[in-house]
Every structure is written in structure tokens, then in C-alpha cells.
């Protein structure tokens, strides 16, 4: 057996070997493309910690004011939090680094008919490649440590072809500017050559759509027969391309839209994917969790959204069943996998830790009980019980549509309140600065379907800000009742 695939389970390594022996792969290997790409492939950065960026920025601009309030005797944590969390009027002159920039490159889609749950509302496509490059440059000019996350999605972004993944295409352009690029795709346009070019572009992460281990269920949701097989072949091509180029990137995650038709098959999907991932990356040593592919093929469960999909949502009873039974079945699959591949007992992670990004329920804190959350899900408002009193993260991010309109976040780009501005006439940070007064209205009605990642960041930021305040208060007590202005250096 080809040692190229020695880091996979034997049965799946044989599947990869068979695919690698296909005429399509023989042709592209004979062309010399793998060698050329391996020589020039940029290595992507790991990306930033958005919560840390926001906390550090707020504390650097407002910390002295809050400590002055403490010195003057203020002890109300909510008053101190309110003052610490204000985005400064000087933002335009000293903007926060952009942690995340979502780019909907096109609303065109090669999947016809489309997925049955697709509810996108296309805009005119007014941005040329030069415009997208200028937007990326703007976001990358004041980068956070680890680089800005650039999220490229659609529609189907692979329709851009070499403009996206070719030499000097948008992915490579952003990567060479120090950005960590994440691509969202249905995978149907991935061939051996496309897979090689995606890996060779320096792509950091790729999200591939797969809704079920059952071909019939996936194809019914995806809108046409044969799509399940096409996605699995795309995954194989990406894995082969990584091995040929000696690359650990892109790390591949699976997007699974959670509906009443596929939810209870999640353990089987997980079982299938775990048998398709690297067991250990070549040359990896130390703790298993430090392996760059430890969470490769992890699943993001995305609750189906939109009023049009009300009939596809889980009922409240189904939500409760999923988290009390199906989730535990998936956890058992994960434990069996760790047994099979020989993860040492002291290095094992429980399923909730390994799959921390999988569940919209477990990843963040929701007010009330599981039953309360289930009612919110039945109403199609998955985030309403996890919203904070403020949205801390949005001044560090943006989401741009093909017509150039810029929104605070992905949820707003779907709901379509008034945009912050247009990137054809204003920079990303400039549009944010002009709309900072609007932060007082957030969270609002358009936030009830806030992305789980955004909810997680907001909860993390508030926790960290409260921790900073607690440290300053403790410091004041230790010095003696209150710090004097002289001790703090204030006049």
C-alpha cells in the first residue's frame, strides 16, 4: 500500500489509494502540477484570538478611566463594565484590528436544483476582483496577532475558478498578506486539479457541506441524487492533495445543516467521518490534542434557518430528544474511536471538548432550561436566550455582500437591516467607525439568530472584561480601601 496514506485507518487508506490511481489523478500528477505548487505554496497563519483582541483594545483605551473610577471609590461592577466596554470616539483614528471579515463573493450556485433549505436573497454583483483585493488589503493593513480571518463564501465561491484559487488568486493574495483564509463550499466543483490548487493557495480552512452519512438523506436535502458521492470524492481529493504537497492545511470541517430529517443520524455521520480522518499527522509528536489535524473533519451543526424552513425545523420535543439521547450516542462514538486508535487515557478529551464548535446549545450559555431552548428553536430563534446586553465583538469584524454593502456580521447580512455603508466608497474600519453610535441598539431583533461563534465571543469578552475589573478591584482593596490618584499617576 502507498505510504502516502499511512496516517489513515487501513480501510480508508485503501479507498484513498484507489482514488489516487484513477485516470484523473494520474493525469494531474504527470503534469508536474504538484511539484510546482509545493515549491511556492504559502503557509497560512493560524489566525487570531478575536476575544483577546477586543478585550485588549477596550482595556488599552478605557482601562485608565475605569481604574480612575475605582480610585474615586466606584465599586458597582455594572457601572465599571459599562465604561470599560465603550468603543472610543477615537476609533476612526486608531481602529481596532479587524479579526474577521466575511466575503460573500457571489450568490451564483452550480447546484441546480439548489439545496431544499436554501433561502439566500441574491444582490447585484457589483464588486470586481480589484474591489475584493482592496477590501482584503484594507482589513489586513492593521492585523491582529495571528492574522485576520478572511471567510470566503457564496453561493458557490468555487465558480470563480482561478480568480479564487489560481496563482495570485484571492486566496493566495490574502494569505500572502498574512490572513488566515477559510472557504465555504458544497464541494461539487472539486477535482484533483482544483483540490491541488486549493491546497497550494495557502488556504487555512475549508468547510465542506455534508448533511448525512446516508446518501439518500443527504441527496434529498441537497436537491439531487449523486451529490453525496460527489462530496465524499471531493473530500478524498482534498486529502490526497494535502498528502502530495506535504501540507497540514487546509484543515477541513464539515457543515451539516440540522433538520428534522437528518438530526438523529448525527452519530452515524460522526462515525463515518472519524474513520476518514488522519489518525496522526506525519511527524506529529506530543499530546494528541496538539496534532494539527486533531479536529480535522469536525462537524458544525447549523440549525436550519429562515421562515421558509419552519417545517424542516426540529420540534421542541425533537430538540430535547437530540440533546438528551442523540448527543450522548455521538459521544459514545467518539469514545469508541479514541479506544480504537489508542489515545492514551490521560490525553483523552470528552466529546463536548473535542466537538466544542459542533453544538449551538452546548457551546454557549443559554438562559433557562433545555426546554426553554427547545421552544426558542421551534420558533426559529436559536440565539435569543444566549444574547448578552451588549454586542462587544462587531467593531472588530465585518461582512461584505457582492454589491459592496457591509454589515456588522453574517446574521445581519442575512436579515438585511440598513448596511453600515458600502466598501466601494468607504473602507471597512471607516464604515465601522461611522456606525459606532448604533451599537447602543444591539442586540436587536435581527440578532435572535446570531451565529453561535459570535455568541461565544461576546460571552467570552464579557467574562474577560469582568475578570479585569475584578483584578483592579482586588488590587484597590489590597493597597488599602481605595487607590489614591497619586498612586495611580493621575493628576
In this structure, the number of other CB atoms found within 10 A of the CB of residue 398 comes to 28
Cα 238 to Cα 250: distance, rounded to the nearest angstrom: 9
Confidence (pLDDT) at 491: 46
Confidence (pLDDT) at 488: 53
- Quickly list H helices, 152-290: 162-165, 170-176, 192-200, 215-222, 227-245, 266-274
Confidence (pLDDT) at 435: 98
Cα 28 to Cα 352: distance, rounded to the nearest angstrom: 40
Confidence (pLDDT) at 478: 87
Residue 385 · residue 367 · CB < 8 Å: yes
Residue 143 · residue 97 · CB < 8 Å: yes
* pLDDT tens digit at each of 491 positions of the chain: 568 999 999 999 999 999 999 999 999 999 999 999 999 999 999 999 999 999 999 999 999 999 999 999 999 999 999 999 999 999 999 999 999 999 999 999 999 999 999 999 999 999 999 999 999 999 999 999 999 999 999 999 999 999 999 999 999 999 999 999 999 999 999 999 999 999 999 999 999 999 999 999 999 999 999 999 999 999 999 999 999 999 999 999 999 999 999 999 999 999 999 999 999 998 888 899 899 899 999 999 999 999 999 999 999 999 999 999 999 999 999 999 999 999 999 999 999 999 988 999 999 999 999 999 999 999 999 999 999 999 999 999 999 999 999 999 999 999 999 999 999 999 999 999 999 999 999 999 999 999 999 999 999 999 999 999 999 999 998 887 544 555 555 54
The 3-state DSSP composition of the chain as helix, strand, coil percent (nearest 5) reads: 50, 10, 40
Q: Please, which residues bridge with residue 102 across strands? A: 151, 399
In the chain, where the domains are located: 3-48+97-380, 50-88+455-488
Q: What cell does 249 get?
A: 492545511
Q: What cell does 442 get?
A: 444591539
Confidence (pLDDT) at 230: 98
CATH class for the domain made up of 3-48+97-380: alpha beta
- Cell 475605569, residue located: 66
Q: What's the pTM?
A: 0.95
Cα 181 to Cα 147: distance, rounded to the nearest angstrom: 10
DSSP 8-state code for residue 128: -
Cα 131 to Cα 136: distance, rounded to the nearest angstrom: 9
Instruction: Find the Cα–Cα–Cα–Cα dihedral 189, 192, 194, 196, rounded to 10°.
Output: 150
Q: Give the containing element (helix H, strand E) for 207.
A: strand 205-209
- What DSSP string runs through 339-407? HHHT--GGG---HHHHTTTT-TTTSS--SS-HHHHHHHHHTT-TTTTT--SS--SGGGEEEE-TT-EEE
Closest-CA residue to 128 (of 424, 425, 429): 424
DSSP 8-state code for residue 209: E
Cα 468 to Cα 182: distance, rounded to the nearest angstrom: 32
Cross-sheet strand order for the sheet of 100-104: 299-303, 251-258, 205-209, 180-185, 149-153, 100-104, 397-400, 405-407, 421-422
Amino acid at each position: 500500500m502507498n505510504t502516502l496514506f499511512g496516517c489513515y485507518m487501513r480501510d480508508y487508506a485503501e479507498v484513498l489509494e484507489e482514488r489516487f490511481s484513477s485516470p484523473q489523478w494520474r493525469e494531474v500528477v504527470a503534469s508536474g502540477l504538484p511539484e510546482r505548487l509545493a515549491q511556492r505554496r504559502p503557509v497560512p497563519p493560524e489566525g487570531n484570538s478575536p476575544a483577546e483582541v477586543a478585550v485588549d483594545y477596550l482595556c488599552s483605551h478605557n482601562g485608565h478611566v475605569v481604574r480612575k473610577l475605582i480610585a474615586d471609590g466606584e465599586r458597582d461592577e455594572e457601572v465599571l463594565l459599562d465604561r470599560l466596554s465603550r468603543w472610543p470616539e477615537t476609533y476612526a483614528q486608531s481602529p481596532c484590528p479587524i479579526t474577521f471579515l466575511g466575503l460573500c463573493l457571489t450568490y451564483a450556485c452550480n447546484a441546480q436544483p439548489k439545496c431544499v433549505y436554501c433561502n439566500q436573497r441574491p444582490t447585484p454583483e457589483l464588486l470586481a476582483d480589484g474591489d475584493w483585493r482592496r477590501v482584503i488589503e484594507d482589513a489586513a493593513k492593521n492585523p491582529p496577532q495571528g492574522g485576520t480571518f478572511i471567510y470566503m463564501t457564496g453561493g458557490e465561491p468555487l465558480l470563480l475558478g482561478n480568480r479564487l484559487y489560481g496563482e495570485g488568486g484571492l486566496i493566495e493574495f490574502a494569505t500572502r498578506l498574512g490572513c488566515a483564509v477559510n472557504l465555504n463550499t458544497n464541494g461539487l466543483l472539486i477535482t484533483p486539479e482544483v483540490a491541488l490548487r486549493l491546497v497550494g493557495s495557502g488556504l487555512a480552512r475549508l468547510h465542506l457541506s455534508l448533511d448525512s452519512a446516508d446518501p439518500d438523506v443527504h441527496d434529498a436535502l441537497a436537491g439531487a441524487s449523486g451529490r453525496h458521492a460527489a462530496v465524499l470524492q471531493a473530500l478524498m481529493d482534498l486529502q490526497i492533495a494535502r498528502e502530495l504537497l506535504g501540507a497540514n492545511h487546509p484543515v477541513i470541517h464539515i457543515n451539516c445543516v440540522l433538520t428534522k430529517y437528518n438530526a438523529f443520524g448525527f452519530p452515524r455521520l460522526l462515525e463515518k467521518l472519524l474513520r476518514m480522518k488522519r489518525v496522526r499527522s506525519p511527524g506529529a509528536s506530543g499530546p494528541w490534542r496538539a496534532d494539527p489535524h486533531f479536529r480535522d473533519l469536525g462537524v458544525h451543526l447549523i440549525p436550519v434557518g429562515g421562515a421558509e424552513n419552519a417545517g424542516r425545523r426540529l420540534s421542541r420535543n425533537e430538540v430535547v430528544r437530540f440533546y438528551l439521547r442523540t448527543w450522548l450516542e455521538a459521544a459514545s462514538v467518539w469514545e469508541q474511536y479514541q479506544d480504537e486508535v489508542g489515545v492514551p487515557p490521560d490525553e483523552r478529551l470528552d466529546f463536548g471538548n473535542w466537538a466544542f464548535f459542533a453544538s449551538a446549545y452546548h457551546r454557549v450559555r443559554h438562559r433557562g432550561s433545555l426546554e426553554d431552548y427547545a421552544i426558542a428553536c421551534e420558533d426559529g430563534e436559536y440565539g435569543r436566550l444566549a444574547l448578552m446586553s451588549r454586542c462587544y465583538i462587531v467593531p472588530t469584524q465585518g461582512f461584505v455582500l457582492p454589491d459592496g454593502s457591509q454589515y456588522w456580521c453574517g446574521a445581519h447580512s442575512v436579515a438585511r437591516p440598513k448596511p453600515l455603508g458600502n466598501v466601494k466608497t468607504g473602507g471597512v474600519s471607516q464604515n465601522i467607525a461611522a456606525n459606532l453610535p448604533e451599537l447602543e441598539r444591539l442586540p436587536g431583533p435581527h440578532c435572535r439568530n446570531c451565529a453561535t461563534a459570535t455568541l461565544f465571543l461576546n460571552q467570552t469578552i464579557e467574562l474577560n472584561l469582568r475578570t479585569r475589573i475584578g483584578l483592579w478591584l482586588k488590587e484597590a482593596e489590597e493597597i488599602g480601601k481605595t487607590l489614591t490618584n497619586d498612586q495611580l499617576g493621575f493628576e
